[in-house]
Structure 1
C-alpha cells in the first residue's frame, strides 16, 4: 500500500491534492508542532489579479501540536475571510457554489480545532476533484519518534510498503531506515498545470479553490495528473 504523510494545510493547493490522489492512504500529520506563518492556517487566492491571503486566526503557543491548535475568535475575521473569498470567485464559473465552502468556515466553532476545519475543507476539495482516497490522523495511530523515525513508524502502523514523499524529502530522509523495514520510497514531483485565470500572467501555487472556481468540474481531475514518481 502506498501512503503519503502530510500536514493538514488550509485550503490546500493542487500539489497536495495530486499527491493524495497518487496515494492509497493519506496519513494526516497532526501530531507534530504547529508551524507559524506557514500554510496550516492560511493560503492564497487571486483577488483583483493579485495573490491574497485568507487567514484563520489561531491560538498556538510555541510547541503546540497541530491537533491542539484552536481557532481564535478575533473580531470580524469571518466577515473579512468571507468577503475576500467571495470577491476572489466573483464572476467565475462556480461563484454561485461558493456557499458550500463558506458554510464550512461558518460552521467552525470559536475555539474549535483548526485541524478539523482544514480536514473538512480538504474533504470538500478532494471531492470536487473526484479524489476518493481515505485519510487517517497520525494522532490516532500508535507511532513514535521524530523526523524519518516517525515517518517509518507511521508507515508501519498503517501497513504501508511504499512511502510517497514530496521532493524536499531527497534532502533529509534516511532512506536506509525505510529499507530496513521493507518500505520503498518514491518521490513526487508535481508539474503545475496552466489554466485560464483571466489575467495576462499565470499565478501558480494558489489554493486549489482558484482552479475549482474557474473550470468546469469535468476538467478538474486532469489538473492532478501532471506528476512524476521516482526513486531518487
Structure 2
C-alpha cells in the first residue's frame, strides 16, 4: 500500500492532486508549524497577462511558536474571502466550466465553521477531489494521536499507523529524507521510498501566454474536471526510487 503525506495548502496546484491520485492513502499533515509566507495561505490564479497572488489573512495563536496549520484561525475572513471570490469571478467568469465550479467554490467559502487554515484548505481540496473524481481515502495527521517523531521519523510512524509499506514523497522533501542515509529512517524501518515525478503540462488558457504552476482552479475552469484529471494522469510519470536519485 502506498501512502503520501502533504500539508494542506490553499487551492493547490495540479501536482498536489497528482500526488493524492497516485497514492492508496493520503494524509493531510496539519499538526505542524504554519509559515505565513508559505502556500498554506496563498496561491496564484491567472489574469489576462500575469499571475495574481491570492493571500489569506491569519492571526498567530500563542505566538509564532504555537502556530500550527491545525490551530491557526483566520482574521477578517469575510473581507478577504469576498475579494478572492471577486478576483476569481472577474478572471474566469467567461470560461467554459465557470458556473458549476464557482458555485461549488462559493459554497465552501461561505461556511462559517471552516475557521482555521486546516479546516478551510482541507474542505477546498476535498471539494476539488470530488469534482475531479479522485477517490483516494484521506485523513488528517491530527486525527492520529499515536503518531510521533519529526521529519522522516514522523513519516515512519504515519506509514505504520496506516499499514503502508511504500511511501510516495513530494520531491521537495528529498533533502531531509535523504540527509543522513539513502531513504532515511523510512528505508531503515523497511518502508520503500519513491519520489513524485510530475511534469507540469500546458493546456489551453483563456487569455494571454501560458503561465505554469497556478492553482488547479485555472485548469479546472478552462478545460473542466474530466480533462484536468486526464492531464494530471498523463503528466504523472513513473516515480523515482530513492536508489535512483
Structure 2 length as normaliser, TM-score?
0.89
Is 1:230–2:240 an aligned residue pair? yes
* Deviation digits for residues 79-129 of structure 1 (CA, Å, limit 9, x no counterpart): 21121111121210122221210121111448x122111111101111222
CA gap of 1:108–1:41, structure 2 versus 1, over 3 A, is: farther
Name stretches of at least 5 consecutive residues in structure 2 with no aligned partner: none
- Give the Cα separation in 2 of the matches to 1:118 and 1:152: 25
Matched residue, 2:200: 192
The Cα of 1:169 is off from its aligned counterpart by: 2.8
* Deviation digits for residues 38-88 of structure 1 (CA, Å, limit 9, x no counterpart): 110111111223111222211124121110011112672222112111112
Matched residue, 1:7: 7
More helix by share: 2
The Cα of 1:180 is off from its aligned counterpart by: 2.5
Is 1:122–2:125 an aligned residue pair? yes
- Give the Cα separation in 2 of the matches to 1:194 and 1:45: 15
Matched residue, 2:16: 16
Matched residue, 1:221: 229
For the aligned residue pairs, the C-alpha RMSD in angstroms reads: 1.6
Structure 1 length as normaliser, TM-score?
0.94
Is 1:172–2:176 an aligned residue pair? yes
Matched residue, 1:31: 31
Matched residue, 1:79: 82
- Contact 1:56 1:71 (C-alpha < 8 Å) held by counterparts: yes
The Cα of 1:200 is off from its aligned counterpart by: 4.2
